[in-house]
Structure 1
Amino acid sequence: MAPLRVGFVPEHFSTPIHFAHAHFGLDATLIPFPSGTGHMITALRASEIDVGIGLTEGWVAGLGKGEVTPEFGDGGYRLVGTYVETPLCWAISTGAGRDEITSVDSLKGGKIGISRIGSGSYVMGYVLADEQSWLAPTAGVGTEKESASPYSDFVVLNTFENLRNAVNSGKADFFMWEHFTSKKYYDSGEIRRVGEIYTPWSSWKIVAATGLVEDPRVEDLLAKLDQGIAYFNENQEEAVKYISTALDYSEEDAREWLKTVRFPEKTAGVDLKVIENTIEILVKAGVLFHGKGMQSGAMIAKTR
């Protein structure tokens, strides 16, 4: 059988995937998606990839929005594994010269830059708005007659580079991206940090195209990822070297990130309670709506 086509985000979190491929014979075609989870959802539904390793909120929002149409069949994918146990720290960034933006409070009603509709950067915009009490009381309570958006515009920019350029040009006022990936550009002075927000859930999940959830190649992938994670945990210096050379992070930032991240011993399976909690928060934030879209149990092909 042909190797699985596996989509992943080419950031520091991908290090165990690299180790599984380099040291344990992971037989897969690894396809980078620097634009993130929303792009992988599109690729899964277009049968361009077979498996995606991406952000929990993106996967859940993609299935929970009710996008189950003849075009997408049954949503296109299911959750089969857990890749990262810890939350993700999203840094909130603006342009270096945007002196009018002084705090998170000043972002209300602004233009938020996102990679794609449905991506983590899009979803977390609503989570931030909920945390800051910018949402009207009716948001997410079961009706799509939603109140006015907390932002004046969602500016779709696809890539991290475009997001950085947009906050400097004024096309967008702010965006959210993973902390350590953003930090290099704070250090260089290209963009400025406004604040941060953590996901209220474990941050990364593994999905497979719906027709492949029982495929033995998926089981093999998960087993190889387990080996890559074990190697990562036991060879931190090799991890630092890889992250600080192949992935363009500083050695200092690589070491700091290692203190914050925890991968599972076994990637197979997803905790139903984690997905239920994610849906509950996304409903509260106005991303999902009660009674619409796929329910939590149906999203998961393999439970823990």
Structure 2
Amino acid sequence: MNKVNIGGVPEHFNLAWYLTLKNGEYKDENINLRWQDYPEGTGAMCKALRNEEIDIAVILTEGIIKDIIDGNPSKIVQTFVQTPLNWGIHVGKNSPYKTIEDLKGTKAAISRHGSGSHLMAYINAEKNSWDLKKDLNFEVINNLEGAVEALTTGTADYFMWEKFTTKPLVDNGTFRRIGNCPTPWPCFVIAARDGFIESNKEDLKTILKIINNTTIEFKDIPSIDRTIANRYEQQLEDVQEWLGITEWSQSLIDKKTVNTIQKELFALNIIPKIVPYERLTHKL
């Protein structure tokens, strides 16, 4: 049985992977798929791909594009979630800040440099016409628990994270959400190491076929809203809202979208150059 290591965030977006693993669908195809949670997010998964700790990652689109350009020997093989990610902009419950404009020049909590929370701070700053050199400061906090500590103690002033994941912390009063900043592109892609693509192409195709068969019918799974609410400790109405606005994909991200993302990252000085579509993607 071929062992394959895959990583992703422990969030509701990835429940389809859990369900297919629980059902033994990969083992039926002689694949021992081992899932690894990465609560630290995209930056940690980029490092894990580089170190060959994982073969595949379910990862933020802009984060893996940046890291491939920076030398990560991996490729995007498919879009996973087609719809944008809605990033909530959060402050601590006792924070004096009430509006996004109040945050200009303050310190953003980020999971790590090159992570989604880091890149989205730039996109939010640009959206609000801030000076990217003067008005952005960062505090590395590793994960959601680190963000809670940083915003509670005041070592950071605001934190950007997917709004439904952080909604329980807003509901219990730990955070206040003072705004949103959606990504202007599909939020999650599936990326694989170049070496793995070359040596395990058929396994990769099989894995994608299995997960795609589940995501294409994901919303039709009986009581899926209750399953998500219970597993991720979310309110049922929040899950239902999230399901209503989220669409999965079973195809490779297109050239136009990749170029749009690169132009945005280049304009923000996050990437040093724009590279050909084929440097970033691999069509199976």
TM interval, short-chain normalised: over 0.9
Q: Which has the higher contact order (CA 8 A, sep 6+)?
A: 1
Report sequence identity in percent. Answer: 31
State the match for 2:75 in structure 1: 78
Residue of structure 2 equivalent to 1:163: 147
Cα offset, 1:287, TM superposition? 1.3
How many residue pairs end up in the alignment?
277
Shift of 1:188: 0.5
Structure-2 residue corresponding to 1:109: 105
The amino acid of 1:209's aligned partner reads: R
1:262 aligns with 2:247: yes
Normalized against structure 2, the TM-score is what? 0.92
User: Cα offset for 1:21?
Assistant: 2.0
Cα pair 2:76 2:190 within 8 Å, conserved: yes
Q: Which of residues 121, 128, 137 is equivalent to 1:125?
A: 121
- Deviation, 1:132, is 0.8
User: Aligned partners of 1:197, 1:191: CA distance in 2, in Å?
Assistant: 16
Is the aligned partner of 1:281 residue 2:264?
A: yes
Structure 1 unaligned residues grouped into runs of 5+: 69-74, 137-147
After superposition, the C-alpha distances for 1:237-291 in whole angstroms (9 at most, x for unaligned) are 2x22321222222222211111110012x24x22121111111111122212336
Tell me which residue corresponds to 1:226: 212
Sort the Cα spacing of 1:295 and 1:167 in 2 relative to 1 into closer, same or farther, 3 A. farther
1:92 Cα deviation from its structure 2 partner: 0.1
Equivalent position of 2:221 in the other structure: 235
Alignment of 1:170-249 (within 5 A): 170-214=154-198, 215=200, 216-235=202-221, 237=223, 239-249=224-234
Q: What is the RMSD computed on CA atoms of the aligned residues? A: 1.6
Amino acid at match of 1:150: D
TM-score, normalised via structure 1 length: 0.86
| Residue pairs, 1:49-60, within 5 angstroms | 49-60=54-65
**Residues 16, 231 of structure 1: 8 Å contact kept:** no
Unmatched runs of 5 consecutive residues or more in structure 2? none
Q: How many angstroms apart in 2 are the aligned matches of 1:183 and 1:94? A: 13
CA-CA distance at 1:24 after TM superposition:
6.1
1:154 matched to 2:138? The reply is: yes
Contact (CA 8 Å) 2:125, 2:131: kept in 1 or not?
yes
Kindly indicate whether the alpha-carbon contact (under 8 Å) linking 2:42 and 2:115 is maintained by their aligned counterparts in 1: yes
Alignment check: 8 A CA contact 2:168 2:233 kept: no
How far 1:23 moved relative to its partner? Answer: 3.6
The CA distance in 2 between the partners of 1:223 and 1:24, in whole Å, is 14
1:175/1:49 CA distance change after superposition, 3 Å: same
User: Which residue pairs with 1:143 in the alignment?
Assistant: none
Secondary structure (helix, strand or coil) at the match of 1:259 reads helix
